[in-house]
A and B are shown apart, each in its own frame.
Chain A
Amino acid sequence: MKQTIRMAVLFGLLAMSLVLLAIHIFPELGRQGKRQDSQRLLSQMGRFEQVAEIPLGKVEIRGFRQMGSTPGLVRLSPAGDRLVIGTENGDVMVFNIDGSSVWRRKIGMGKISALEYSPDGGRILIGENSQQGAVICVDAATGGEKWRRNSVDELGVDLRQKTFPGIMSIAMDESGNSYAVALRSIRFPNGQTDYFARIYKFDANGRVELFPRDHNLDVWVSWCDIDPSGNLLVFATSDYTPGPYRRYQNNIYQFDARTGQNRWSLHTETVEPYERTNMRFGPKWSQDGKYMSGVSADGRAFFVDAAGKLVWSRVLSAPQRIQGIFVNATGLHTQQIGSYAIFSTGNTYNRANWQLPTPVEHPQSNSVFLFDREGNLRKRRKLGGMIEEMKLVGQELAVAVGRNIRTKDASIHGVALLSAPELELVDWLPAAGPCVAVAASPKHVVAMEAPLQLDSGEIVGSYRILVWRKTGM
């Protein structure tokens, strides 16, 4: 009898170990999409209810010491009935808005760096960072590949140094053309950096045109936007080791999207202690196609007309010298609604080394600013955590709020819904971990949450998608 019990325990332990291993290795075995009715959570004002949670697997759990957010992208289809997710683990997944899976595919060796739905919702464009730096167009319904275009032919690759080309962002125009910004940078031991950037225009069938037509840009470009008519392509530049030998010294460039000709470029003054104005996100066109708004990493907002004239620039956050180092809140995103422009700032960072902590929090950090076209500040709202992404839907602005590396307050994570353009808080959709991406439609708000390790060792949140639906819809 004793022998039998001993054997049963032994085999039970082995079986349990194997089951635990299997669940850990194949997390999809335990994946549950839909949230049960009894578990429904309401937003702060009760306007939204959480209807689905989609686990996305395991990722590195960051703490407050590491700068940079957990990568991940989420986009809603134009009809708002499906969402596409690009994860840190290289998965591209499409789900129905209720959390049920439609299809998924692995991107392979590359890292997903950009993701967009086409305006008709029939295609999904995926940008990757790999030896080939490809833009992959897939069928939104099935996930089947339609075409693929590599940027390595223009930007090159260094296998040994692992400097690969990557797609930084993708913009779409109303005619179904897509614009992808590709970039490769090489950092040399002497501190100098070489950049190779190009913008690709694809039609629906993958036929390509290049901007500029015959050479690479020798500066950092990570963003572009196309005006509502689809004729004017605009992008901004950055250069972290500026030098006089650069061909592209200016900050904003506009190209004719039909002919590929450079129409104008704009140079902006620098501010101490910066050597150059760097713009990573923006400029963004207004809905009427008359103006562009941009924001620079040194904390300034710019408003430019379609002819390339600087209408105004305003300081969102000024660098401050504290204990011998410059601290500032980086300028991040911009949106335009009607005759207003919205800008955001991120976490406080150390100018000497952005990975090092700062002695204080910059008072203008983690905020959203509203300006009118005359450059008057109409409103500023501090959101307490890193503004990871902003999405405008109708008259509301959905803002993904992530970590605050200074205050380390874990209660500020979630999605803030602000009225646009007033920037009044309409609702608050809380999340346990920092929100790193957001997408919104008139009926739904979708956020990507990342796990975070607090200084106490406790882990809050997980790598997952949270779907909220407007109540009563």
Chain B
Amino acid sequence: MYNRQVWEATPADTPIHKMDVRIKLALLAAVMLFAVGLEGARPLFFLFVCSLGMHFVARSSVQRWQVLAVFLLVGLWGTMVSQALFYNQEPRTMIACLVSPTTPWIGEWTGGIFIYREGLEHGAVQALRSGTMLTCGLLICWTTDPRQLLQCFLHWRMPFEVAFMVITSLRFLPVIFEETAVVFTAQRLRGFEPARSLSPVRWIRTAFYVLFPILARSLRRAATLALSVESRGFGRGNSRANLPMLPLPQQFACVGIFAVILVGATLKVIYSLQHNGVAYFPQLRGVYDFMAVWL
């Protein structure tokens, strides 16, 4: 996980690697919009499984799968458990009691701590959303050279400053993980054992011991970077990059992706108008039913 190689894009001979960066970004945008727009657990699960399948196509390494699995498990169960504990909508069904309302002090103070079934389900939907975005984001990260991304952003006339920030953050990601490993190693050499106890106080103390050095080093690196780019006349030159025309099949793919986004957005708007009592079109009843049942 702390290996820099795991985080940086590596070349490979797979359809995902060969795909033009513009198609990848269009696909990413489509997935993100659908992950936010879809409300049913079924289509979200389908989208999530598809995004995981893309990693198989991209032949992600075992180390990368390991990283992905850690993030997904933490996100999935963390969201589900937190929603299950703090769900406050009605109806809600208690499926377990962690702290009885009659328990002295904490029970009386909190009114009891329960796990709610509807909270678990709501958490699962949220986790699928974030899991899908994370999976697709990492896929782009691991299969695309940041220079190509920068070129693509500039080709699309993204402001140079914004494009630079996005790419810098991507470039910094492996560096931060590598620095975390360095800090851990340094702490261990000084006799510190962060995982020796499960005490929350100790974990908080560990977080401080680890985070402060990383933050300090990041700030120092950012200052150096700022000085470096300023001295080279950042943003004063021609910030437009020209990419070659996409081949025809990829152009069709791009148009198809945008058509899917457009159709999805239109359906969502139509359904929202009906749901909020603004406009209902009886002739679209089939569309409403499809949206209610499947999306």
Contact = CB atoms under 8 A, between A and B. Distances in A.
B247 interface: no
A457 B117 CA distance: 12
Contacts of B77: 17
Given A11-B69, A21-B124, A457-B97, A108 B45 contact: no
Given A60-B93, A108-B288, A14 B277 contact: no
> Which of B69, B73, B117 has most chain A Cβ within 10 Å?
B69
A90 interface: yes
B277 A457 contact: no
B45 A21 contact: yes
Contacts, number: 76
B94 interface: yes
23 contacts: A14-B72, A17-B73, A21-B45, A21-B124, A22-B45, A24-B124, A25-B45, A26-B45, A60-B91, A60-B93, A61-B91, A90-B293, A106-B293, A108-B293, A109-B285, A109-B289, A109-B292, A132-B282, A157-B280, A159-B274, A162-B277, A457-B97, A459-B95
A14 B285 contact: no
A91 to B, nearest CB: 10
7 tightest CB-CB pairs across the interface, nearest first? Answer: A108-B289, A160-B277, A159-B277, A60-B91, A61-B93, A109-B292, A106-B293
A407 B11 CA distance: 71
A453 B280 contact: no
Contact of B66 (A7, A150, A159): A7
B73 A13 contact: yes
Given A25-B41, A457-B97, A11 B277 contact: no
A131 interface: yes
A132 B286 CA distance: 12
Interface in A288-336: none
B74 to A, nearest CB: 11
Given A21-B45, A61-B93, 10 more contacts: A7-B66, A13-B69, A17-B72, A25-B41, A26-B42, A60-B91, A108-B285, A108-B288, A158-B277, A159-B274
Interface residues of A, number: 33
B87 interface: no
B62 interface: yes
Interface of A: 7, 10-11, 13-14, 17-18, 21-22, 24-26, 60-62, 90, 106-109, 131-132, 150, 152, 157-162, 453, 457, 459
A14 B288 contact: no
A159 B280 contact: yes
Contacts of A17: 72-73, 76-77
B65 A11 contact: yes
B36 interface: no
A33 to B, nearest CB: 21
Nearest to A108: B289
A296 B261 CA distance: 55
A158 B280 CA distance: 10
Interface residues of B, number: 34
A150 B277 contact: no
A289 to B, nearest CB: 39
Contacts of A459: 93, 95
Contacts of A157: 280
A152 B283 CA distance: 13
B93 to A, nearest CB: 4
Nearest to A61: B93
A364 to B, nearest CB: 31
Interface in B190-236: none
A10 B97 contact: no
B62 A108 contact: no
> Which of B41, B45, B93 has most chain A Cβ within 10 Å?
B93
Nearest to B77: A17
A413 to B, nearest CB: 18
B277 A10 contact: no
A157 B95 CA distance: 39
B289 A14 contact: no
Contacts of B42: 25-26
B73 A10 contact: yes
Contacts of B62: 7
Nearest to A12: B69
B255 interface: no
B162 interface: no
A160 B275 CA distance: 9
B41 A14 contact: no
Contacts of A10: 66, 69-70, 73
B94 A453 contact: yes
A12 to B, nearest CB: 10
A107 B290 CA distance: 10
Interface string B95-123: 10100000000000000000001000100
B279 to A, nearest CB: 8
Contacts of B285: 108-109, 132
Nearest to A63: B93
A150 to B, nearest CB: 7
A180 B93 CA distance: 35
Contacts of B289: 106-109
